[in-house]
A and B are shown apart, each in its own frame.
Chain A
Amino acid sequence: MTALTLWLTDPNPSSRRQARLGQAWLAWLRLRRNPLAMLGLFIIAALCLLAAAAPVFAPQDPFAQNLAERLLPPGTPGHWLGTDDFGRDIWSRIVHGARITLSIVALVAVTAPVIGLLIGTVAGYFGGWVDTVLMRITDIFLAFPRLILALALVAVLGPGVQNAVLAIALTAWPPYARVARAETLTVRNSDYIAAVRLQGAGAGRIIWGHVVPMCLPSVIIRVTLDMAGVILIAAGLGFLGLGVQPPLPEWGLMISSGRKFLFEQWWVATMPGLAIFTVSLGFNLLGDGLRDVLDPRSASR
């Protein structure tokens, strides 16, 4: 054992930071015992690496057209995943597309859960008419199919990456609100909330300091499991021409442009499809693993 792990596993931490890091270390040890979750984590780490160092991993300019080399099959020297109808290298485009996908995922992940968490905990904590109003609004959003609502929003706001993110975030929060509210209802009547109320704490302090930390694990799990869906919706918007605009190498857009050649040049649509599949799988595997680690019901003992 190194000095660091000793410090992390110290049963008597000497600061809040050490205590928190020690808990994170234990969670990591638990996660590490789950090979599938580790596979998911590896896929997502690889995606981040690809996106961060895209110019290194992409042999060619994703926008460079070369009509002489259009629609080359996979395995062609210099284009191991083949080329599309403009002669652009598909591998390079997928690598650069990872940046777009990842930025959409990241932006949605920091907006939608926060909105949902806030609405859910406030509704659950106060109950009564606050709960009724907030949850009926949530129901209205839930009543629309997500893609249709996102489509409608993009149609109003106009196509583009930012608007796609906004549309996805605005359609993605209701499930988080539901999860957070359900969690809040179980926490609300617990003794530790009664104790802090007895100390004279206001609603803001209780919700932010005591209720939200209890809802966070289930929301984080939900976020990772939802990321696959977010990627698919972003791809769907791209596919319909309402998200990212050409010639940007967004994966959904790439599938859309490969549609015309699906039977003769299958790889044009299949390769970005495989990328979406792999990343979605990665997020799902990680989410499942996180559920075992973070779920308060399993971690409490």
Chain B
Amino acid sequence: MSDLIEIEDLSVTFRAHGRTVRAVQSVSLRVPAQASFGLVGESGSGKSTILRAICGLAPVSGGAIRIGGQPLRSPRDKAFAARVQMVFQDPYASLHPRHTIDHTLSEPLAIHGIGETDARVVRALTDVGLPTSFRFRYPHQLSGGQRQRVAIARALMLEPEILLLDEPTSALDASVQAEVLNLLNRLRTERGLTFLMVSHDLAVIDHMCDRVLVMQNGRAVEELARDDLAQARMKTAYAQSLFAASADRMLDPAGKETR
């Protein structure tokens, strides 16, 4: 069986004010269906740009992206929207400030001409663990974690196969991060979703993903299976330094030490 997401030699180059920035340089990766793949790296490593390139939000200057064996059409069409959706990093910026939650969630249904709006919106809210009484609230009446749940609900309205997650919890508090990560994992098992997740936090990636690609300065450094990451079996110096800087993420909290 061929992989669901195939990226081959992808390059993304931004041109602005006569300068060219090569944000991604010939990166290849493959994600099988229903897997969870992580991209880690520091800021400027190009990890988020890959997600944006898949969505047609960044200029691809070379290479190919295939979903389910099919090359993507430019601009991305409605069929793409029904297969691939994205959750953004900042829940304070990714919801329209003047639209109610109801408006935000029913918009994709309206675009795709899907009926039973009421029932679907209510079900979407329950699925992400929000009370239905929140339906007509505005984003500023919700906390960061609640907003991110709404953003996840929006991404799932069209029942996509692939969810692109761009640092979905880095703007959230630790306890809320745990709740959102649990929610994402639950939804993935329930719906058989495929995740492509970007994070700077190795612990989050390790918790969520089966395979990890370490990136630096727009290039792929090293691809690791989850076990290799946990056992610190990385071959490149950069991946090792990243691991060392995250060493406190391995600390066992008090309750677990006596186990």
> Residue B94 contacts which of A191, A205, A214 (CB distance < 8 angstroms)?
A191
Min CB gap B183→A, angstroms:
18
Q: Which A residues between 81 and 118 are near B, CB-CB below 8 angstroms? A: none
Q: Which B residues between 127 and 157 are near A, CB-CB below 8 angstroms? A: 133-134, 136-138, 140-141, 151, 154, 157
Q: Are B100 and A191 in contact (CB under 8 A)?
A: no
A14 to B138, CA, bound (A): 12
- Additional 19 contacts, C-beta under 8 A, given A198-B85, A199-B85: A11-B141, A12-B133, A191-B89, A191-B90, A192-B94, A194-B57, A194-B94, A196-B107, A198-B57, A198-B84, A199-B107, A199-B158, A200-B76, A200-B78, A200-B81, A201-B107, A214-B97, A214-B98, A301-B140
Q: Are A23 and B138 in contact (CB under 8 A)?
A: yes
A209 to B98, CA, bound (A): 10
Q: Are A194 and B136 in contact (CB under 8 A)?
A: no
Q: Chain A: which residue is nearest B154 at the CB level?
A: A195
Asked whether B188 is an interface residue with its Cβ less than 8 Å from the other chain, the reply is no
Q: Chain A: which residue is nearest B141 at the CB level?
A: A11
A210 to B96, CA, bound (A): 7
Q: Are A191 and B93 in contact (CB under 8 A)?
A: yes
Q: Are B90 and A12 in contact (CB under 8 A)?
A: no
A181 to B151, CA, bound (A): 27
Q: Which A residues touch B32, using CB under 8 A? A: none
Min CB gap A29→B, angstroms:
15
CB within 8 Å of A: which residues of B?
55, 57, 76-78, 80-82, 84-86, 88-90, 93-100, 102-103, 107-108, 111-112, 133-134, 136-138, 140-141, 151, 154, 157-158
Q: Chain B: which residue is nearest A213 at the CB level?
A: B98
A125 to B241, CA, bound (A): 43
Given contacts A192-B95, A300-B97, contact A199 B111 (CB under 8 A): yes
Q: Chain A: which residue is nearest B93 at the CB level?
A: A191
Count of A-B residue pairs with CB < 8 Å:
84
Q: Are A14 and B85 in contact (CB under 8 A)?
A: no
Given contacts A195-B154, A296-B97, A300-B97, contact A205 B136 (CB under 8 A): no
Interface size class of A (residues with CB under 8 A): 20 to 34
A200 to B80, CA, bound (A): 8
Q: Are A200 and B90 in contact (CB under 8 A)?
A: no
Q: Are A195 and B88 in contact (CB under 8 A)?
A: yes
Q: Which B residues touch A200, using CB under 8 A? A: 76-78, 80-82, 108, 111-112
- The listed residue with most B CB atoms (<10 A of its CB), out of A19, A23, A199, A301, is A199
Min CB gap A19→B, angstroms:
4
Q: Which B residues touch A12, using CB under 8 A? A: 133-134, 136-137
Q: Which B residues touch A13, using CB under 8 A? A: 136-137
Q: Which B residues touch A23, using CB under 8 A? A: 138
A192 to B139, CA, bound (A): 12
Q: Are A201 and B111 in contact (CB under 8 A)?
A: yes
> Residue A18 contacts which of B93, B94, B136, B141 (CB distance < 8 angstroms)?
B136
A16 to B138, CA, bound (A): 10
Q: Chain B: which residue is nearest A19 at the CB level?
A: B136
Q: Which B residues touch A194, using CB under 8 A? A: 55, 57, 86, 88, 94
Min CB gap A3→B, angstroms:
19
Q: Are A15 and B81 in contact (CB under 8 A)?
A: no
Q: Which B residues touch A76, using CB under 8 A? A: none
